[in-house]
Amino acid sequence: MIKINRVYCNKVGYFSSYYMQATKHLKEQILLLKIRHGDAGAYAQVYDAYVDAIFRFISFRVPNQDIAQDLTADVFLKVWERLSSGEKIKVRNLRAYFYQVARNLITDHYRQDQPALFTEAEADSLEQVEDSTVANKLTLAEIETALKKLKPYQQEIIILAHIEGFSLKEISVIIGKSHGATRVDLHRALKELKQLLQ
Amino acid sequence: MKDKILIKELQSLREIKKPASVWRDKTRNTILSLAEQKPMIGWGVSDRVLVGWFDFRLKFAPVPAVAVVTMLLVMAFITLPLTPGFASSVPGDFAYPLKRLEEKIQLSLRQNSASQGIYYLKLADRRLSELKAIPIGSEDQVALLRDYNINLSFAEANYRAVANNNELAKVYDQVAKKLGENLNQIIVTNGSKQVYQVARELTDKISSDSLATLIVLHQQGQTSNQQVVQERLQEEIDKVEQKLATVQTKLGELSAPKRNTSKVVIESRRAVVPATEAGEEASKNLAEAKILLEQKEFSLALAKVKEGEVITLKTEEAISEEDVGQPDSVEGEVRGETQIIDEPTVAEPVTNDDTVDFTLPVDSGDIKVEVKE
């Protein structure tokens, strides 16, 4: 009986998650169509939905908050300009598209300036912690330091997979690699992070 | 550190990297003010259709797939009976199992005994149509006759469950009459003889039960069925007379010793009499029935007709038993219009023009039947 219940729950879970994804995708497609027609109200909804995540993604990759804020604003402006330009830009996943643009802007940022030391950034980012315990702060600080010691590509892939919650398929779209290669890279990055933490 | 713990710790990093709310609102206003400066692009027809389609899908997204499949199945079962070939499918056809399933579903939708009973009669009529369509001697013949009998048994049970109802009795009477006529057109092999006999008995029983109800209700003054009852009784008398004439012809063809050895039990007289005398007794009963009919003594007339019919059938049976030993009887038995044969032959395609249309009642108080000739 327990086994049957588990199978049933798994199926229910699968269907509910499928419907949630399908609903989310449809809502996104409607918003995308509106944005393409220059609907600022629709873009406001998108901004509210993604601004925190994009900021977080960027702030893990840049040395301080100011740069993260500037780059985040740039991402939203750039996406708006592109989508509302009337050009036929193929966007299958709006969320992934924002990360693609953010990723390109980060790359451009590092091409222009040399990366600064991360130690200050760590301290800055930890200032944002509002409700964590001291012990937890130390653990998270250690993890963040170790994360920033990884190669930029490895950082990205871990952030996207385990902090932002993207699926391997979505990550492969953002970083422009095959599904298999993304899976191997993620496994290696996680292994390396573990070694750094030990 | 285990992978799971590490991933959990990484997930908690999500909470420490949040933009300041002041910056977030300020950036929002800046971006939106820039966005609003740009003129909006007009909506084309294709875009409107696309948004409409997405909206439609969004509304139906939470509907579980099971519900959609069920709805499609229900629609299929509604439209299937309308498709050509579905109603006329016979055992062995692709659509036949679906037809039977549809019948079961239709039956389960009927709540009261009256409508269920009429639907069973309709099913019995369908089985007869199928019997006409399949080759004689087919293995399905016995199965279809059994199904016919089962349907009639259920129809009878449902009829009994409803208290004397004039409209229902009329429906049963007319349908049973039509079923009896259709049953006579069926050609059966010796293997199906027994089942066929049961089918005839059940059909006759339903016919006489419904006629008896009509008579009782008329005599109780609840309905004005006089003309209907008179006509039906006359038909019954004619039917038995016709049968009796055939039996008497056969009786005349028998040699004198054999004619005397054939004995018939007459229960009303508690006597065993020769076949010739039994024939006369049946004839006498029918004559009395006619007189009683003229006197409008319908119940007694029906009783006399039934007695005459029973004696006629017993006489026919007695003659048949005598006839079995004769060398010229190898071709089988001919009874009424029904032919029972030893060897299966391929039947001519039968066109059933005299089909019965059943108008099913919503409840037992509203029963109508139309019979197309």
Question: Pick from B78, B109, B140: which residue ends a domain?
Answer: B109
Phi–psi pair at B352, nearest 5 degrees: -90, 90
Mean of all residue pLDDT scores within chain A:
79
Q: Specify whether A133 is located in the same domain as A121.
A: no
Q: Specify whether A161 is located in the same domain as A88.
A: no
If 0-12 CB within 10 Å is exposed, 13-18 middle and 19+ buried, where does residue B36 land?
middle
pLDDT band at B363 (very low <50, low <70, confident <90, very high): very low
User: Residue B361's pLDDT is what?
Assistant: 44
Question: Pick from B75, B109, B143: which residue ends a domain?
Answer: B109
User: Residue B127's pLDDT is what?
Assistant: 92
Q: Specify whether A134 is located in the same domain as A122.
A: no
Q: Specify whether B194 is located in the same domain as B204.
A: yes
Residue B202 within any structural domain of the chain: yes
User: Residue B92's pLDDT is what?
Assistant: 85
Neighbours of A103 (CB within 10 A): 20
Range of the domain at A86: 29-126
> What pLDDT digit, counting tens, does each position of A164-195 carry?
888 888 888 888 888 889 999 999 998 888 88
Q: What's the average model confidence in pLDDT over B86-102?
A: 84
Nearest Cα residue to A83 out of A97, A70, A72, A69: A97
Residue A16 within any structural domain of the chain: no
Query: Taking CB atoms and an 8 Å limit, are B17 and A59 in contact across chains?
Result: yes
Looking at A110-124, A132-146, B310-324, which range is the least confident one? A110-124
Q: Specify whether B244 is located in the same domain as B103.
A: no
Query: Taking CB atoms and an 8 Å limit, are B16 and A55 in contact across chains?
Result: no
The contacts of residue A57 (CB under 8 Å, 6+ apart) are: A99, A102, A159, A160, A163, A164
Using the predicted structure, report yes or no on whether residue B344 has a pLDDT greater than 50: no
Residue B41 within any structural domain of the chain: no
Gap from B26 CA to chain A (nearest CA, Å): 10
Report the percentage of chain B scoring pLDDT > 90. Answer: 10
Residue B330 within any structural domain of the chain: no
> What pLDDT digit, counting tens, does each position of A21-32 carry?
777 888 888 888
Q: Specify whether B184 is located in the same domain as B102.
A: no
Mutate one of A50, A163, A164, A196 to test the B interface: name it (highest B CB count within 10 A): A163
Query: Taking CB atoms and an 8 Å limit, are A26 and B11 in contact across chains?
Result: no
Using the predicted structure, report yes or no on whether residue B15 has a pLDDT greater than 80: no
Count: domains in chain B: 2
Q: Specify whether A170 is located in the same domain as A194.
A: yes
Residue B309 within any structural domain of the chain: yes
User: Which residues of A are less than 8 Å from B18 in CB distance?
Assistant: 52, 55-56, 128, 130
Residue A68 within any structural domain of the chain: yes
Query: Taking CB atoms and an 8 Å limit, are B7 and A162 in contact across chains?
Result: yes
Q: Specify whether B167 is located in the same domain as B305.
A: yes
Using the predicted structure, report yes or no on whether residue A65 has a pLDDT greater than 60: yes
User: Does A89 lie at the interface with B, CB-CB under 8 angstroms?
Assistant: no
Q: Specify whether B162 is located in the same domain as B286.
A: yes
Residue A17 within any structural domain of the chain: no
Q: Specify whether B96 is located in the same domain as B164.
A: no
Q: Specify whether A39 is located in the same domain as A121.
A: yes
User: Which residues of B are less than 8 Å from A156 in CB distance?
Assistant: none
Query: Taking CB atoms and an 8 Å limit, are A55 and B10 in contact across chains?
Result: no
Q: Specify whether A137 is located in the same domain as A119.
A: no
Contact, B186 vs B337, CB < 8 A?
no
Question: Pick from B51, B86, B109: which residue ends a domain?
Answer: B109
Decide: helix, strand or coil at residue B312: helix
User: Residue A101's pLDDT is what?
Assistant: 93
Q: Tell me the C-alpha distance between B90 and B126, whole Å.
A: 10
Query: Taking CB atoms and an 8 Å limit, are B17 and A60 in contact across chains?
Result: yes
Q: Specify whether B181 is located in the same domain as B87.
A: no
The contacts of residue B66 (CB under 8 Å, 6+ apart) are: none
What CATH number is attached to the domain comprising A151? 1.10.10.10
Contact, B264 vs B273, CB < 8 A?
yes
Question: Pick from A68, A100, A126: which residue ends a domain?
Answer: A126
Report the percentage of chain B scoring pLDDT > 70. Answer: 81
Q: Specify whether B156 is located in the same domain as B230.
A: yes
User: Residue B265's pLDDT is what?
Assistant: 80
Q: Specify whether B190 is located in the same domain as B290.
A: yes
Phi–psi pair at B34, nearest 5 degrees: -70, -40
| The token pair that represents B114 in the structure block | 């009256």
Gap from A52 CA to chain B (nearest CA, Å): 6
Query: Taking CB atoms and an 8 Å limit, are A55 and B3 in contact across chains?
Result: no
Residue A2 within any structural domain of the chain: no
Q: Tell me the C-alpha distance between B323 and B317, whole Å.
A: 10
Which of B31, B51, B64 is facing A77, going by the closest CB pair? Answer: B31
Residue A160 within any structural domain of the chain: yes
Which of A44, A128, A139 is facing B17, going by the closest CB pair? Answer: A128
Which of A48, A56, A197 is facing B14, going by the closest CB pair? Answer: A56
User: Which residues of B are less than 8 Å from A194 in CB distance?
Assistant: 1, 3, 6
Range of the domain at B259: 110-324+356-371
Q: Specify whether A58 is located in the same domain as A118.
A: yes
Residue B58 within any structural domain of the chain: no
Q: Specify whether A121 is located in the same domain as A33.
A: yes
Radius of gyration (C-alpha) of chain A in whole angstroms: 19
Q: Tell me the C-alpha distance between A106 and A95, whole Å.
A: 17
> What pLDDT digit, counting tens, does each position of B56-72 carry?
777 776 566 666 777 88
> Could you tell me the pTM of the whole model?
0.47
Residue A5 within any structural domain of the chain: no
| The token pair that represents B214 in the structure block | 């009509």
Question: Pick from A93, A126, A159: which residue ends a domain?
Answer: A126
Q: Specify whether B130 is located in the same domain as B73.
A: no
Residue B88 within any structural domain of the chain: yes
Strand partners, B335: B338
User: Residue B119's pLDDT is what?
Assistant: 93
Q: Specify whether B146 is located in the same domain as B190.
A: yes
Which of B28, B40, B42 is facing A39, going by the closest CB pair? Answer: B40
Residue A1 within any structural domain of the chain: no
Q: Specify whether A146 is located in the same domain as A106.
A: no
* ipTM (interface pTM): 0.73
Using the predicted structure, report yes or no on whether residue B335 has a pLDDT greater than 60: no
Phi–psi pair at B274, nearest 5 degrees: -65, 160
Q: Specify whether A45 is located in the same domain as A60.
A: yes
Q: Specify whether B139 is located in the same domain as B255.
A: yes
Residue B335 within any structural domain of the chain: no
**Nearest chain A residue to B14, by CA:** A163
User: Residue A34's pLDDT is what?
Assistant: 87
DSSP labels, A36-93? HTT-HHHHHHHHHHHHHHHHHHHHHHSSSHHHHHHHHHHHHHHHHHHHTT------S-
Residue B12 within any structural domain of the chain: no
Count: domains in chain A: 2
User: Residue B341's pLDDT is what?
Assistant: 52
Q: Tell me the C-alpha distance between A51 and B18, whole Å.
A: 9
Q: Specify whether A35 is located in the same domain as A100.
A: yes
Gap from B108 CA to chain A (nearest CA, Å): 30
Question: Pick from A106, A126, A146: which residue ends a domain?
Answer: A126
> What pLDDT digit, counting tens, does each position of B143-178 carry?
899 999 999 999 999 998 887 788 888 889 889 988
Q: What's the average model confidence in pLDDT over B47-55?
A: 82
User: Which residues of A are less than 8 Å from B5 in CB distance?
Assistant: none
Mean of all residue pLDDT scores within chain B:
78
Place of tokens 């970083």: A175
Residue A164 within any structural domain of the chain: yes
What CATH number is attached to the domain comprising A37? 1.10.1740.10
Q: Specify whether A112 is located in the same domain as A138.
A: no
